[in-house]
Amino acid sequence: MRIRASLAAATMSGAVALTALVAPAAQADDTPSPVADVTSFAVGQGGSKMSARSVDDIQITKVTVNGNKDIVVGGTQAKTFSVYVTATNPEGIEGVQAFLWHGTDFDSETGVDGAIVPNSDDISYDCDHWSATSATCKVELTATPGEELYDSALNGKWNVYAAAVGSDGDLAENVTYKNHWIKRAAQITSFNASPEPVTKGKPITVSGNLSRVSWSYLKYYGYGSQQVQLQFKKAGSSTYSTVKTVTSSSSGAVKTTVTASADGTWRFSYAGNGTTSTATSSADYVDVR
């Protein structure tokens, strides 16, 4: 995958042009390649590069990505989410720009290996103007497995770029205003608690399979060595409680036994981690006699 990106100077009319292409490079086998290069982002008339910039009185005061929730992406469907940028400026806010980038050094040709950018290369004018000096503007982004998320190694922490343009042409920019997490979707399938019914005091065998998606191959694979909680909700209750914690096998299999004591519903729950989403199995009711 090749990313070419440049942010043109903010003009006196306040226009900021973002030209960003994220597309698989053509190869003999038609598979995406890693990012080959990133051109510099030009900020202001001088085109200087800074991790944070504030011209005159314009300021970015808040950035919210996906409602402050992790972005979870599976293997077949794109995930569209919003970035809201709030900014203030004595002369008013014209618009904003925002996108996500993955890597270690924004200014290095090899320091960025992924980017999720808007469809439009212009600033976003989709703004709620709270007053003559402040506004919150929305930018919509889409993360597609196999495209922007071309490799499973892109799971985890991303950097959030945010810029705001004032009605007077002033510009505020922060290459890494904050971090946000994009995670691979996990699932627990083939869940079963048996036998049904069961005699009180006898064992109940509970089994399932934990897997997570590969963005590289667009399939789910067993997720091993993970801590999965076995949870129980007694008949008549509205809440689950954790009975024990089970470690998934190398193939993602999760299996354990418990002693039957009361009627109720069983399920597995996985808390997720820095690269992978949470997951909860279907529920299975067991009648204890």
- DSSP H stretches of helix in the chain: none
From the list 46, 182, 44, 158, the residue with the least C-alpha distance to 106 is 158
From the list 83, 79, 88, the residue with the least C-alpha distance to 123 is 83
The ranges assigned to domains in the chain are: 2-183, 186-286
d(CA 145, CA 127): 29
Q: What CATH code is assigned to 2-183? A: 2.70.50
Q: How confident is the model over 229-240, as pLDDT tens digits?
A: 999 999 999 999
- Tell me the range of 3-12, 39-48, 217-226 where mean pLDDT is highest: 217-226
φ, ψ of residue 47 in degrees (nearest 5): 70, 20
SS3 67: helix
Mean pLDDT score, 279-288: 98
Which helix (H) or strand (E) segment is 243 a member of? Answer: strand 241-247
Copy the structure tokens of residue 27: 């190869």
Instruction: Give the least confident one: 19-28, 76-85, 146-155.
Output: 19-28
SS3 68: helix
Q: What is the DSSP string of 141-188?
A: EEE-BTTTB-SGGG-EEEEEEEEEEETTS-EEEEEEEEEEEEEE-EEE
CB 81 within 8 A of CB 69: no
Copy the structure tokens of residue 249: 């096998």
Mean pLDDT score, 279-287: 98
At residue 44 the predicted structure's pLDDT band, cuts being 50, 70 and 90, is very low
d(CA 15, CA 239): 53
Rg, Å, the chain Cα set: 24
CB atoms under 10 Å from CB of 70, counted, come to 16
User: What residues contact 50, with CB distance under 8 A and at least 6 apart?
Assistant: 43, 173, 175
- For residue 194, is pLDDT > 60? yes
At residue 105 the predicted structure's pLDDT band, cuts being 50, 70 and 90, is confident
**What local confidence, expressed as pLDDT, does residue 108 receive?**
76
**What local confidence, expressed as pLDDT, does residue 121 receive?**
67
* Site of tokens 């300021």: 59
**What local confidence, expressed as pLDDT, does residue 214 receive?**
97
Q: Which CATH number fits domain 186-286: 2.60.40.730, 3.30.1130.10, 3.40.50.10160, 3.20.20.70?
A: 2.60.40.730
CB atoms under 10 Å from CB of 184, counted, come to 24
Mean pLDDT score, 81-90: 97
At residue 55 the predicted structure's pLDDT band, cuts being 50, 70 and 90, is low
- For residue 5, is pLDDT > 70? no
SS3 250: coil
Could you tell me the CA-to-CA distances from 224 to 100, 221, 227, 257 in Å, in that order? 30, 9, 9, 19
From the list 155, 169, 138, 149, the residue with the least C-alpha distance to 67 is 138
Predicted structure pTM score: 0.83
- For residue 48, is pLDDT > 60? no
- For residue 285, is pLDDT > 50? yes
